[in-house]
């Protein structure tokens, strides 16, 4: 998330109570979790597994719970609870804003767009031209929708990311400050859910089509002309490249890439990145021709065992 106005390291420390390690005047232009960071961003780290990754990332300012040497060009904020302090900043700059009407006065709706009864449109939403939003769709704050988009009844666009930190006695939610961005000519089936990014954008490219009951996780990027059939579930921070087809009940693991033109057959589970231009099947998903051959051999096993017994 980019900030409307830059803030300084000193200001952040005054709000969070953290200890500055570096230039107090260091400028911060955005808030991002580690998967989405860019130069100028503030992020956080609170686990030894990720110290090196975060310290070497593009982030300019890092809230950290370990005193380390300050990397060149960066500033650090020492905190006993980086997660808590990062969430407090998200709430300060993009906290929940209650609505008192079905369509926010800050929403911008393009020419020729039809909004059916019962649609909720949150604050700072932008919807393009000649779209059709069917009854009882919910579009959360800051969502961006292109032209000629169709969204069917019961779908929710922009719900919070499913992202929690485990505490000894509870689970703390990482507040979401990202968005959902839908390209032109996108179609969303009934009862679909597309989560906003934790701090970046969950994106669907032009001409991509979702069937009913599809779930898209936070910060996932889906390319152009993709087809996702009913009951597909794609976890967060996944990249689905152009012209991919995911048939019914496919489940996709987080943090992976599905290559352009790949086809994943129904009821498969994709647990690692796969190359484009091929067809996959199974749990875990593998090239379908290999799986079919193995299945054919397995079907022959009873006869082979029977023959061996008669020897």
Indicate which CATH number applies to the domain containing 138.
2.160.10.10
Whether 195 and 257 map to the same domain: the answer is: yes
Per-residue model confidence (pLDDT) at position 36:
84
Do the domain assignments include residue 233? yes
Shared-domain flag, residues 43 and 183: no
> What is the mean pLDDT of the segment spanning 194-221?
97
Q: How many structural domains does the chain have?
A: 2
Query: Does 310 have pLDDT greater than 90?
Result: no
Question: Is the Cβ–Cβ distance between 207 and 186 less than 8 Å?
Answer: yes
**34 within some domain:** yes
Cα 92 to Cα 30, 76, 86, 89: the distances in Å are: 13, 20, 10, 5
In a domain, 295, yes or no: no
Among 105, 133, 103, smallest CA distance to 120 is for: 103
Domain C-terminal end among 94, 129, 164: 94
- Please tell me whether residues 10 and 60 are part of one structural domain: yes
Decide if 28 is inside a domain.
yes
199: nearest Cα among 35, 5, 6, 13? 35
Q: Element (H or E) spanning 271, and its range?
A: none
Tokens linked to 140: 């959360």
Same domain, 154 and 231: yes
**CA distances (Å), origin 13, targets 9, 54, 67, 71, 170:** 6, 19, 15, 19, 26
Does residue 261 sit in the same domain as residue 157?
yes
Structure tokens at 67: 């005193």
Last residue of a domain, one of 56, 71, 94: 94
Closest CA to 52 of 73, 33, 42, 66: 66
- Whether residues 149 and 273 share a domain: the answer is yes
pLDDT tens string 109-135: 999 999 999 999 999 999 999 999 999
Domain boundary among 70, 94, 118: 94
- Count how many Cα atoms sit within 13 Å of the Cα of residue 192 in the half-sphere of its side chain: 25
Residue 252 is assigned to a structural domain of this protein: yes
* In a shared domain, residues 50 and 114: no
For residue 225, the model assigns a pLDDT of 98
The range of the structural domain enclosing residue 72 comes to: 2-94
Domain identity same for 162 and 268? yes
Please tell me the distance from the alpha carbon of residue 220 to that of residue 228, in angstroms, as a whole number.
14
Could you tell me how far CA 46 lies from the centroid of its own chain?
21
Cα dihedral across residues 22, 28, 33, 34: positive or negative: negative
pLDDT at residue 303 is higher than 90? no
pLDDT recorded at residue 86:
97
Residues 214 and 188 in one domain: yes
pLDDT at residue 305, rounded to an integer:
83
Please give the Cα distance from 194 to 30 (Å, whole number): 23
Q: Is the dihedral of CA 188, 106, 196, 260 positive or negative?
A: positive
Can you give the pLDDT at residue 300?
A: 86
User: Domain of 46: which CATH number?
Assistant: 3.40.1390.10
Is the predicted pLDDT of residue 311 greater than 80, yes or no? no
In a domain, 294, yes or no: no
- Domain contains 103: no
8 A C-beta contact, residue 57 and residue 74:
no
Instruction: Answer whether residue 309 shows pLDDT above 90.
Output: no
Q: Average model confidence (pLDDT) for the chain?
A: 95
Does residue 139 surpass a pLDDT of 90? yes
Task: Give the pLDDT confidence of 150-163 residue by residue, as tens digits.
Answer: 999 999 999 999 99
Catalytic residue set: 218
pLDDT value at position 3?
95
Tell me: do 182 and 267 sit in the same domain: yes
* pLDDT of res. 141: 98
Give the largest CA-CA distance in the chain.
85
- Asked whether residue 60 is domain-assigned, the answer is yes
Give the pLDDT confidence of 35-94 residue by residue, as tens digits: 889 999 999 999 999 999 999 999 999 999 998 999 999 999 999 999 999 999 999 999
Classified as helix, coil or strand, 52 is helix
Same structural domain, 147 and 256:
yes
The answer on 229 and 140 residing in a single domain is yes
Kindly tell me if the per-residue pLDDT of 1 is higher than 80: yes
pLDDT of residue 297: 87
């Amino acid at each position: 998330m980019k900030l409307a106005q830059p803030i300084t390291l000193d200001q952040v420390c005054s709000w969070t109570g953290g200890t500055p390690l570096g230039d107090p005047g260091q400028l911060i232009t955005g808030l991002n979790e580690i998967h989405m960071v860019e130069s100028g961003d503030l992020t956080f780290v609170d686990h030894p597994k990720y110290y090196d990754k975060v310290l070497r990332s593009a982030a300019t300012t890092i809230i950290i719970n370990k005193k380390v040497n300050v990397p060149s060009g960066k500033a650090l904020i020492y905190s006993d609870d980086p997660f808590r302090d990062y969430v407090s900043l998200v709430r300060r700059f993009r906290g929940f804003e209650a609505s008192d009407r079905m369509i926010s006065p800050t929403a911008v709706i393009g020419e020729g767009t039809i909004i059916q009864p019962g649609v909720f449109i949150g604050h700072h939403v932008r919807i393009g031209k000649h779209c059709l939003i069917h009854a009882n769709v919910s579009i959360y704050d800051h969502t961006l929708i292109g032209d000629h988009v169709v969204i069917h009844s019961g779908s929710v666009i922009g719900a919070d990311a499913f992202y929690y930190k485990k505490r000894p006695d509870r689970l703390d939610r990482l507040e979401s400050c990202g968005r959902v961005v839908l390209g032109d000519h996108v179609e969303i089936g009934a009862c679909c859910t597309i989560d906003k990014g934790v701090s970046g954008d969950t994106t669907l490219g032009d001409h991509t089509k979702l069937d009913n009951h599809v779930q898209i996780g936070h910060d996932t990027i889906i390319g152009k002309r993709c087809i996702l059939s009913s009951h597909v579930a794609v976890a967060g921070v996944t990249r689905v490249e152009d012209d991919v087809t995911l048939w019914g009940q496919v489940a996709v693991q987080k943090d992976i890439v599905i290559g352009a033109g790949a086809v994943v057959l129904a009821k498969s589970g994709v647990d690692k990145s796969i190359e484009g231009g091929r067809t996959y099947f199974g749990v875990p998903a593998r090239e379908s021709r290999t799986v079919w051959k193995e299945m054919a051999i397995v079907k022959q096993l009873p006869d082979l065992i029977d023959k061996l017994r008669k020897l």
